[in-house]
Amino acid sequence: MGTDMGVAALGLYRPVWEEDGRRLIGTDEDVTTMAVAAGRAALDGRGSQVTRVVLVTAEPDTVQGLATSVIRLGLEVGAQVPVEFRLGGGPAALEALASAQSGTLVIGVDVADDAMAGATLLTDGGVPVTLAGRADVSLPMRVRRVGSPANDVYADVRVERELGWAPAVRSLAPRPGFFLAGVPAREASRFGASELASSAARGAAAPIGLLAALIANPAAGRLIAVDAGTATAVDVGTGTAEVREDIRPPIPATRRPALTGEQADVAFSMPAHVRAVQARVGLVAARCVCGTVSYPPRVHCLRCGRQSETQPLELSRFGEVYTAVTVWTPVPGLPGPYTLAVVSIDDSPVRVLARVTDGADGCSIGDRGQLVLRRLAIREGVSDYGYSFQPGLAAGGVS
């Protein structure tokens, strides 16, 4: 990392559903959709500046077949931008931040426990983040095998503290006042962590959330993340970075639409999948030389009859409900009841049919909102992504 490299922008996203003070992901959300939401908050329309995407999570959607094209289209970064996946929690996210090249978007996603996603765009200038040290314990005391729940060997927080994270934190924090992710607040302050911000979460988004607090504070400081058997420390310098939050007021998780009946066995269609991804996930329409706009794009213009004389037209993510209906009949495999809306897209004649999401009370004609990337279905094991309509606008003013 160059000496002048740093965090230029940071975005945080949390799902709306809340239970016992924790946020839970919606039934149409996963690591991919969460990563795109946080990434868009960080980029705020500057996807063309991104040269690499690094996605860090301990809970991947898939171990093979990461939806890289969906992530690129959702973030509106170039088609050639590599999307790199790393398995890990808080320490892995800090490693990725401290080793990133200019133009890298580092995204950390936690879907378990308290769901959150955080993204940082690193460019020349901004808030510098440099690696300060690493520590390992001899054997991790929490181990999870693929496909199994976590196995906690002692299930004793004192053993884990004294043999696990405490020696690592002591070795990495020579002075009090550091920021600490992965340790409950009460314990963290006993070890000298700043009372301003600490997080018990061990996922990859937690240190990015603390970094947002450090930037807002603004003071230089050390940020440490601990995981099951490792800890990583970075030094955060002073500077300015844009911080944007896509965090809406919570809705009780009891009002989250529930799946009814058996998971529907929806067949996967390769032609439909191939045709759909660019237009549907990229939200790209076609404009004929006569001015007629079609979405999904048509080769043959229905107004003037010309063939293939169209230009791609990127659609706005914002729009207004033209009409909506709530379906109360249970459909196997679909969360219900669900609301469908025809949405008039801003600055275009296009109207799209979309499922309404994150709106426990549905929506009405004239409501404004935005199209957000969601997992619409799982077909024969393959996730199918597209846009749902999210009524209202985030308080943070994220576009």
What is the contact surface with Zn ion in residues (CB under 5 A)?
A: 288, 290, 292, 301, 303-304, 306
The residue among 295 and 387 lying less far from Zn ion, judged by its C-beta, is 295
Q: Count of alpha carbons within 13 Å of 223, Cβ hemisphere only?
A: 32
The DSSP bridge pattern shows strands 178-181 and 193-199 to be: parallel
The residue among 155 and 290 lying less far from Zn ion, judged by its C-beta, is 290
The residue among 135 and 293 lying less far from Zn ion, judged by its C-beta, is 293
The residue among 248 and 306 lying less far from Zn ion, judged by its C-beta, is 306
The residue among 288 and 356 lying less far from Zn ion, judged by its C-beta, is 288
Phi-psi region of 250 (alpha: psi -120 to 50; beta: other; left: phi over 0): beta
The DSSP bridge pattern shows strands 251-252 and 17-19 to be: parallel
What minimum distance in Å lies between the beta carbon of 279 and Zn ion?
18
The DSSP bridge pattern shows strands 284-288 and 310-314 to be: antiparallel
What minimum distance in Å lies between the beta carbon of 305 and Zn ion?
7
The residue among 241 and 293 lying less far from Zn ion, judged by its C-beta, is 293
Determine the Cα–Cα distance for residues 175 and 185; give it in Å rounded to an integer.
18
Q: Count of alpha carbons within 13 Å of 108, Cβ hemisphere only?
A: 28
CA 234 to chain centre: 22
What minimum distance in Å lies between the beta carbon of 308 and Zn ion?
11
What minimum distance in Å lies between the beta carbon of 291 and Zn ion?
7
Do 111 and 103 touch, CB atoms closer than 8 A?
Answer: no
Within a 10 A sphere around the Cβ of 337, how many other Cβ atoms? 15
The residue among 70 and 301 lying less far from Zn ion, judged by its C-beta, is 301
The dihedrals phi and psi of 185, each to the nearest 5 degrees, come to -55, -40
Do 60 and 111 touch, CB atoms closer than 8 A?
Answer: no
What minimum distance in Å lies between the beta carbon of 288 and Zn ion?
3
What minimum distance in Å lies between the beta carbon of 290 and Zn ion?
3
Nearest to 130 by CA among 217, 5, 216: 5
User: Which residues are within 8 A (CB) of 283 and not within 5 positions of it... i.e. 6 or more apart?
Assistant: 314, 315, 317, 371, 387
The residue among 51 and 292 lying less far from Zn ion, judged by its C-beta, is 292
What minimum distance in Å lies between the beta carbon of 300 and Zn ion?
9
Nearest to 143 by CA among 155, 127, 131: 155
What minimum distance in Å lies between the beta carbon of 94 and Zn ion?
53
Determine the Cα–Cα distance for residues 340 and 338; give it in Å rounded to an integer.
7
